[in-house]
Amino acid sequence: MSMLPSLFLAHGSPMLALEDTAYTRFLRDLGQTFSPKAIVIFTAHWESERLTISSRDDEYETIYDFYGFPEELYRIEYPAKGSSQLAARLQQMFAAAGIAADLDKTRGLDHGAWTLLYRMYPTAQIPVVQLSVNPYLSAEAQYQIGQALRSLGEEDILVIGSGVTVHNLRLVQWGQSTAEPWAVEFDDWLLATLGNRDLATLFDYARQAPHAHKAVPRPEHFVPFLIALGSGGNEATVLHRSYDLGSLSYLSIEFSSEGGIS
């Protein structure tokens, strides 16, 4: 029986909803690769102390949680519908793993979710359930949140962690298209550690990874990577890798129970 992997996708700048780049073309092609019956997406732009799950059946509001961008960006809408049935199921799956989770019936889709989905599935026909992150939990706890959902791939439900591995807006170099060596070194370390199947070292990234405090000054954008890893499995395949503004990483990875680093 085929099983959908989980995906870690970089959402970078909200401009990816408008720009025509190698990364946005990658997202378009990726959406044509997978046709899930539902999407479960963890977004770095929704933080909560307790894990929270969007639970609704009507259309989401599109949240423009950014400022100073072209007016055209604020006219884009992504009117996907939710699934309260799937949300309740996720809550039960978390409970079975000893993880408390709340339901939220009002929040819309933030740009960590809709910018990616707009490029992958522009017709917004696939039900979406959006989940929050708690950046203060341990790396191992984030992985366990993903593990609680590992069976979803068998049911044609796509789990996506939406974040960025290297995300330090204070260090971006405006107009720079070449990557800063320190950002590349951090991602290289991640991939090498994944390749070694060394979860203990990976969970200790804050101490052991080169330039960790520059790459991850605050863990909210890194957490979806750990959740996607837990959800899909420890076999990682690099789907896309590029950098914008010097250090903003667009590293995107597929996690599954078979495959390998490429």
Closest of 32, 31, 40, 133 to residue 82, by C-alpha: 40
**Residues 61-90 pLDDT 10s:** 999 999 889 999 999 999 999 999 999 999
Closest of 79, 75, 73 to residue 61, by C-alpha: 79
Indicate the domain borders of the chain: 6-256
Tell me which fold the domain 6-256 belongs to. Answer: Protocatechuate 4,5-dioxygenase; Chain B (3.40.830)
**Span 45-60, average pLDDT:** 98
Who has greater pLDDT, 237 or 245? 237
Scan for tokens 């107009």, then name that residue: 175
Given pLDDT bands bounded at 50, 70 and 90, which one contains residue 258?
Answer: low
What is the distance between the alpha carbons of residues 183 and 257, in angstroms, rounded to a whole number?
Answer: 28
Under a CB-based contact definition with an 8 Å cutoff, are residues 44 and 133 in contact? yes
**Residues 124-154 pLDDT 10s:** 999 999 999 999 999 999 999 999 999 999 9
What is the distance between the alpha carbons of residues 159 and 7, in angstroms, rounded to a whole number?
Answer: 6
Q: What percent of the chain has pLDDT over 70?
A: 95
What is the distance between the alpha carbons of residues 231 and 91, in angstroms, rounded to a whole number?
Answer: 15
Q: In the chain, which residue ranges form alpha helices assigned H by DSSP?
A: 22-33, 84-96, 111-120, 139-147, 181-195, 199-203, 205-208, 212-215, 223-232
Using the predicted structure, report yes or no on whether residue 1 has a pLDDT greater than 80. Answer: no
pTM of the model: 0.95
Using the predicted structure, report yes or no on whether residue 25 has a pLDDT greater than 60. Answer: yes
Given pLDDT bands bounded at 50, 70 and 90, which one contains residue 260?
Answer: very low
Residues forming beta bridges with residue 42, ordered by sequence position = 131, 161
**Weakest-pLDDT range from 73-77, 103-107, 155-159, 176-180:** 176-180
In eight-state DSSP terms, residue 127 is -
Q: How far is CA 234 from CA 42, 151, 207, in A?
A: 18, 14, 21
